[in-house]
């Protein structure tokens, strides 16, 4: 399969293939070529450049992009797309004044989703989840991480991870799987410590045997798991080859960022609350901070202080956190816009955070996240727009003309 995209108004996020992520002031640069061409062969980007250098005789399909821009698909490095049912009831409880914490304390929240998921068959869970995956692909997501964590027992956690594996085998989008058994302490266990032991002794070995996960996650937060639970679980996961990617600092800073960095976490996610110690711990590390503005928007909690992170020379990735409780949306376009509107990120910073840095945060930076030779042709073609800044500016509008995965129109 050979294809050429011609007369591209602006080809956005062109990079050398070996750039893993961008940080600090470099995040404010978004390399582009105006009036460009792009060649795809067998699903991969093989060449691109200015129309002045466009091959005259091309033996393959020609896609005319006059007036339209092309950028790499969004890389959503933090989702919980596999879940059963919904939590609109709790949404109304919050409208009526209850907080996320109060709802969780009265048996709602993650435990509510776990009850529903335990009663749902693997086939039904796949059916419900695939519609969400299809929806986010249409909205321009071209690589995604999906977590377990609504099972909270061996059988149900394995069910979730098998559904993630089946989605990966069924759809042309790269999917990374994360084991988040330590999402909350289920009613079946008296303490966080005993549940962590159960996960390590009974669940992890089975996940490793079936090769169901790439990453290990934990909700390191007051009322959920502390830093010693976190250290113990991450260490055990690493022995099975699972790299940590963890939930930290959503409501309280309890030392989870330092713990994550100590265990060489690929990413630390949420960070709505951030201390100087956290910022210092991240400096010089290989850990990507990840902000989830959809969650801040939906729960009316603070936004991750992006300026503090970036102005301290750190990188930042953006993800949706698509889940039934704190962010029931997988729309990366909204995330990119909200990062600009509420977190004072520039369009360049926001697009870098949602593409190349998101790819790094799920270990896919060699495959996706930029327009680079040898990477997958996972692309967004925009409608007619004047500038890429129009994407976050025009929040809520659908500016996507078409999406391509592996060079094929979806």
Ligand X SMILES: N=CN[C@@H](CCC(=O)O)C(=O)O
Question: What residues line the site for Zn ion (CB under 5 A)?
Answer: 321
Judged by phi (left if over 0) then psi (alpha if -120 to 50, else beta), residue 72 lies in: beta
Task: Flag whether 326 is marked binding.
Answer: yes
> Are the beta carbons of 159 and 148 closer than 8 angstroms?
no
Instruction: Return the number of the residue (5 or 298) whose C-beta is nearest ligand X.
Output: 298
Q: H/E element holding 154?
A: helix 154-170
Alpha helices in 241-331 (DSSP H): 256-262, 276-282, 293-299, 306-311
Rounded CA separation 188/268 (Å):
28
The answer to whether residue 110 forms part of the interface with ligand X (CB under 6 A) is yes
Residue 402 CA: distances (Å) to CA of 68, 293, 348: 10, 25, 22
In angstroms, what is the minimal distance from the CB of 251 to Zn ion? 13
Cα–Cα distance for residue pair 202/157, rounded to 1 Å: 12
- Judge residue 188's burial from the number of C-beta atoms within 10 Å of its C-beta, 0-12 exposed, 13-18 middle, 19 or more buried: exposed
Minimum CB distance to ligand X, residue 80 (Å): 6
* Cross-strand pairs, 38: 5, 48
Indicate whether 108 belongs to the interface with ligand X (CB under 6 A).
no
247 annotated as a binding-site residue: yes
Closest approach of ligand X to the CB of residue 326, in Å = 4
Q: Does 219 bind ligand X (CB under 6 A)?
A: yes
CB 371 within 8 A of CB 326: no
By beta-carbon proximity to Zn ion, the closer residue of 321 and 349 is 321
Answer for which of 73, 77, 249, 326 binds ligand X (CB under 6 A) is 326
Strand partners, 37: 49
Per CB under 6 A, which of residues 236..255 are in contact with ligand X? Answer: 247, 250
Q: How many Å apart are CA 90 and CA 108, to the nearest integer? A: 7
Q: Counting contacts by CB under 6 A, is residue 303 touching ligand X?
A: no
Closer of 38 and 265 to ligand X (Cβ): 265
Say whether residue 289 binds ligand X (CB under 6 A).
Answer: no
**Is 325 near ligand X (CB under 6 A)?**
yes
Give me the least distance between CB of 321 and Zn ion, in Å please. Answer: 5
CB 269 → Zn ion: shortest distance, Å? 6
Q: Of Zn ion, ligand X, none, which one does residue 304 interact with (CB within 5 to 8 Å by kind)?
A: none
Backbone angles phi, psi at 116, to 5 degrees: -65, -45
What's 276's DSSP letter?
A: H
Minimal CB distance residue for ligand X? 325
Tell me whether residue 90 or residue 348 sits nearer to ligand X (CB atom): 90
Listing DSSP states for 195-248 in one string gives HHHHIIIIIHHHHHHHT--SEEEEEEBTTTB-HHHHHHHHHHHHHTTPEEEEEE
Neighbouring C-beta atoms of residue 327, cutoff 10 Å = 24
Contact string 45-84 vs ligand X (x = CB under 6 A): ----------------------------------------
Question: Segment near ligand X (CB under 6 A), from 38-46, 253-261, 320-328, 356-364?
Answer: 320-328
Which residue lies nearer to ligand X by CB, 37 or 225? 225
Please report whether residue 363 would count as binding ligand X according to CB under 6 A: no
* Binding site residue list: 78, 80, 87, 150, 183, 247, 250, 321, 323, 325-326
The residues binding ligand X (CB under 6 A) are 109-110, 113, 219, 247, 250, 295, 321, 323-326
* Binding site residue list for Zn(2+): 78, 80, 247, 321
């Amino acid at each position: 399969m050979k294809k050429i995209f011609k007369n591209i108004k602006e080809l956005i996020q062109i990079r050398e293939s070996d750039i893993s992520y961008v940080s600090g002031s470099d995040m404010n640069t978004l390399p582009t070529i105006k009036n460009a061409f792009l060649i795809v062969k067998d699903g991969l980007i093989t060449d691109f450049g200015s129309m002045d250098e466009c091959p005259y005789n091309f033996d393959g399909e020609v896609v005319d992009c006059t007036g339209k821009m092309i950028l790499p698909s969004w890389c959503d490095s933090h989702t919980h797309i596999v879940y059963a049912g919904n939590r609109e009831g709790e949404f109304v409880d919050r409208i009526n004044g209850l907080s996320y914490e109060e709802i969780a304390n009265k048996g709602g929240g993650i435990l509510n989703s776990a009850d529903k998921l335990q009663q749902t068959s693997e086939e039904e869970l796949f059916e419900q989840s695939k519609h969400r995956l299809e929806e986010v692909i249409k909205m321009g997501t071209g690589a995604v991480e999906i977590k377990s964590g609504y099972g909270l027992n061996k059988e149900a956690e394995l069910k979730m991870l098998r559904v993630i594996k089946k989605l990966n085998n069924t759809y042309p989008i790269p999917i990374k799987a994360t084991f988040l058994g330590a999402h909350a302490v289920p009613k079946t266990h008296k303490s966080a410590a005993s549940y962590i032991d159960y996960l390590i002794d009974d669940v992890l070995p089975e996940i490793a045997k079936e090769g169901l996960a790439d990453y290990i996650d934990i909700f390191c937060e007051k009322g959920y798991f502390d830093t010693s639970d976190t250290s113990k679980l991450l260490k055990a996961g690493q022995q099975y080859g699972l790299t940590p990617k963890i939930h930290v600092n959503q409501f309280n800073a309890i030392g989870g960022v330092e713990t994550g960095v100590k265990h060489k976490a690929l990413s630390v996610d949420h960070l709505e609350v951030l201390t100087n110690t956290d910022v210092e711990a991240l400096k010089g590390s290989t850990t990507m901070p990840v902000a989830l503005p959809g969650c801040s928007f939906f729960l009316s909690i603070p936004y991750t202080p992006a300026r503090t992170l970036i102005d301290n020379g750190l990188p930042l990735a953006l993800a949706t956190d698509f889940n039934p409780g704190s962010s029931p949306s997988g729309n990366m376009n909204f995330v990119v816009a909200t990062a600009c509107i509420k977190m004072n990120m520039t369009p360049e910073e926001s697009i870098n955070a949602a593409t190349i840095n998101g790819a790094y945060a799920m270990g896919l930076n060699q495959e996706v996240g930029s327009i680079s030779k040898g990477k997958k042709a996972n692309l967004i073609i925009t409608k007619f727009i004047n500038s890429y800044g129009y994407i976050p500016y025009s929040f809520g509008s659908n500016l996507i003309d078409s999406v391509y995965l592996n060079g094929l129109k979806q």
